[in-house]
Amino acid sequence: MLDRKRTEKSDADLVLEAQSAPAGDMRAFAELVRRYQQSVNTNCRYISGSPTDAEDLAQDVFVKAFFGLKRFEGRSSFETWVKRIKANHCINFLKKRSGKSFVDVEDPGVSTSDRVRVEPTGLSGLDRLSKRQRIRATLDSLPDSTRIPLILRDMDGLSYQDIAEELSVGLSAAKMRVKRGREAFRARYGDREDE
């Protein structure tokens, strides 16, 4: 049940309440999580490309936010602070995952194996997907080098300078990656619409 007084408070008031709350009183922080959980989960999904990983990543982001809340000084909004935690966490996740090799299901040796063969059970084709699903599929088709900067800029609203710092690249490289990401997204999204 939602506490009406708490839902009407600003993020800054909730942060102060959460920072001064006695041990075990999570109500103010729970309201902050409720406000941003869906957007954090969605963005983790778009960055990681995996719904399963996204849930774990989003949960980790809020755990980090909870334990870092005492050090949060309020120089930025809570929302911006959580977005930075999310961006750093997801980027670190992708870096760790990049060292692992995955088998392509389209590989002839893999696709003929009975262990990975599953008969289709539903309708296929992106033309039957909703707009949101087409957006997700289009984003998933982009390489990390353009998808992540595009999400950080257009979904999280980070500045090009912040993106450059998050990705450890130069400012011009960050701008170029966002530009290329937008161009590739437009082209691939349009192609999917025409199918």
Percent of residues, the chain, with pLDDT higher than 70: 79
What pLDDT sits at residue 51?
Answer: 83
Residue type, 56: D
What pLDDT sits at residue 137?
Answer: 85
What pLDDT sits at residue 81?
Answer: 93
Return the structure tokens found at 166.
């998050």
- Domain extents in the chain: 1-98, 130-195
What pLDDT sits at residue 172?
Answer: 94
- Residue 52 contacts by C-beta under 8 Å, 6 or more apart in sequence? none
Report the top-level CATH class of 1-98: mainly alpha
Looking at the domain that runs over 130-195, which CATH code has it been given?
Answer: 1.10.10.10
In this prediction, residues 6-35 reach a mean pLDDT of: 90
In this prediction, residues 81-85 reach a mean pLDDT of: 92
Tell me the pLDDT of the chain averaged across its residues.
Answer: 82
Percent of residues, the chain, with pLDDT higher than 90: 42
Please check the confidence at residue 7 and state whether its pLDDT lies above 80: no
What pLDDT sits at residue 136?
Answer: 84
- Residue 88 contacts by C-beta under 8 Å, 6 or more apart in sequence? 166
Please report, for residues 81, 131, 177, 181, 186, the alpha-carbon distance to residue 190 in angstroms, rounded to integers and kept in the order given. 34, 12, 20, 14, 6
Compare 112 and 133 and report the one with higher pLDDT. Answer: 133
Highest mean pLDDT among 61-70, 88-97, 109-118, 136-145: 61-70
H-run or E-run covering 83 = helix 78-98
What pLDDT sits at residue 174?
Answer: 93
Highest mean pLDDT among 105-114, 115-124, 167-176: 167-176
pLDDT (tens digit per residue) in 121-162: 444 444 555 788 888 888 888 998 999 999 999 988 889 998
Return the structure tokens found at 76.
């930025």
Using CA atoms, how far apart are residues 166 and 179, in angstroms rounded to an integer? Answer: 17
